[in-house]
């Protein structure tokens, strides 16, 4: 870890992409858990840009019940502004840390980080987020960002990095997935994305899976972006998430994954998403999010 390195924090209190309210309060919960102070203790210079302005559901028209891309226009507008802000931070040589908010925001954060450079993409999530408007059972855009970033989706979203796809699927790894929609599963099987399910982790162990996933994403020449959805952790440990699914990774498996990321030394940007304080217990999930960010950025036990 470079003790003079700078981290910029950007909050994105967005919940338009999700089917359940509450993740818009995630950035505040993560900050309240001591993120800036603990990053500073680790040796980083911290700049907090505050929260990106995002619309509230109550202030915009409801989409029709059969909408295939719910809230497309406001989500696109937020992701465009986020991509611009992240790209500006990257040009200054600063590492951006984006706090969510639902997972649709990663369309903006990852696209902005990938502008002008070729990054890998490490997606750690209980879900693949690989639907598009033709496969989605819900129309919720937080189930689509990985598809968008690898070139499948609405053209308003796929081009935010300045090229399509924003990420070469051959440089993308999905880790710890355990809940797939039927058509999403078919699309993922046909994709060159490297997929490591909970079955792989159970059989091979987190260390072996992460080493292989990191090899995939670091074949890109300019490092990689990490997108970490807290619902990848078992809900007994992380109850305050947007879409909980039983049978997730443990606290220590999550920390090991982050520690291995730090050891590679190729992390260029990261986002942490889907913390839902409404469903949390004494802010435990937000506190875990802070701990995992610290591990990804170099904190060690000894």
**Domain-located, residue 41:** yes
What pLDDT is recorded for position 222? 98
Please state the rounded mean pLDDT for residues 206-227.
Answer: 98
- Arithmetic mean of pLDDT over the chain: 97
Give the count of domains, the chain: 1
| Residue ranges in the chain assigned as alpha helix (H) | 26-32, 35-41, 72-91, 106-114, 145-149, 155-158, 182-189, 198-204, 206-217, 251-264, 284-296
168-212 pLDDT, tens per residue?
A: 999 999 999 999 999 999 999 999 999 999 999 999 999 999 999
Contact 19, 102 (CB under 8 A): no
Is residue 103 a known part of a binding site? yes
Distance CA 187, CA 197 (A): 15
Distance CA 194, CA 70 (A): 28
**Domain-located, residue 124:** yes
Contact 242, 23 (CB under 8 A): yes
What pLDDT is recorded for position 65? 85
Q: Which two tokens stand for residue 237?
A: 């440990």
What pLDDT is recorded for position 4? 61
pLDDT at 45 over 60: yes
pLDDT at 3 over 80: no
Q: What is the CATH number of the domain that holds 90?
A: 3.40.800.10
What pLDDT is recorded for position 1? 42
Please state the rounded mean pLDDT for residues 226-238.
Answer: 98
**Domain-located, residue 133:** yes
Is residue 134 a known part of a binding site? no
User: How far, in whole angstroms, is CA 105 from its chain's centroid?
Assistant: 8
Is residue 231 a known part of a binding site? yes
Residue whose pair of structure tokens reads 């951006």 in the numeric block: 96
**Domain-located, residue 228:** yes
The conformation of residue 236, written as its DSSP 8-state character, comes to T
Higher pLDDT, 113 or 62: 113
**Domain-located, residue 302:** no
**What is the SS3 assignment for 270?**
strand
**Domain-located, residue 1:** no
What pLDDT is recorded for position 2? 47
Is residue 84 a known part of a binding site? no
Contact 196, 175 (CB under 8 A): yes
**In which domain, by residue range, is 45 found?**
6-296
Distance CA 135, CA 138 (A): 9
Is residue 229 a known part of a binding site? yes
Of 125, 155, 160, the closest CA to residue 142 belongs to 125
**Domain-located, residue 75:** yes
The conformation of residue 249, written as its DSSP 8-state character, comes to B
**Domain-located, residue 301:** no
pTM of the model: 0.97
Is residue 202 a known part of a binding site? no
Q: Which two tokens stand for residue 301?
A: 């036990």
- Residues labelled as active-site residues: 103, 125, 127, 129, 142, 229, 231, 274
What pLDDT is recorded for position 10? 98
């Amino acid at each position: 870890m470079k003790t003079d390195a700078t981290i910029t924090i950007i909050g994105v209190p967005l919940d338009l992409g999700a089917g359940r309210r509450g993740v818009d309060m995630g950035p505040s919960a993560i900050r309240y858990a001591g993120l800036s102070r603990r990053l500073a203790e680790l040796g980083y210079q911290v700049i907090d840009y505050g929260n990106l302005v995002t619309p509230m559901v109550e202030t915009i028209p409801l989409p029709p019940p059969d909408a295939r891309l719910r809230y497309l226009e406001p989500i696109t507008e937020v992701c465009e502004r986020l991509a611009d802000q992240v790209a500006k931070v990257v040009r200054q040589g600063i590492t951006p840390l984006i706090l969510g908010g639902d997972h649709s925001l990663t369309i903006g954060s990852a696209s902005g980080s990938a502008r002008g450079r070729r990054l890998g993409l490490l997606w750690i999530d209980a879900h693949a987020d690989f639907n598009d408007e033709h496969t989605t059972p819900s129309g919720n855009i937080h189930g689509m960002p990985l598809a968008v970033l690898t070139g499948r989706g609405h053209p308003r979203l796929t081009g935010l990095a300045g090229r399509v796809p924003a990420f070469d699927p051959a440089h993308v790894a999905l880790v710890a997935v355990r809940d797939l929609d039927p058509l999403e599963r078919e699309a993922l099987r046909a994709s060159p994305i490297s997929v490591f399910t909970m079955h792989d982790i159970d059989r091979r162990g987190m260390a072996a899976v992460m080493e292989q996933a990191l090899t995939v994403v670091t074949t890109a020449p300019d490092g990689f972006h990490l997108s970490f959805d807290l619902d990848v952790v078992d809900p007994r440990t992380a109850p305050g998430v947007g879409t909980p699914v039983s049978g997730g990774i443990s606290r220590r498996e999550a920390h090991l994954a982050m520690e291995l990321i730090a050891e590679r030394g190729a992390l260029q940007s990261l986002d942490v998403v889907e913390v839902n304080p409404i469903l949390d217990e004494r802010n435990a999930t937000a506190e875990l999010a802070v701990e995992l960010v610290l591990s990804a950025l170099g904190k060690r036990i000894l």
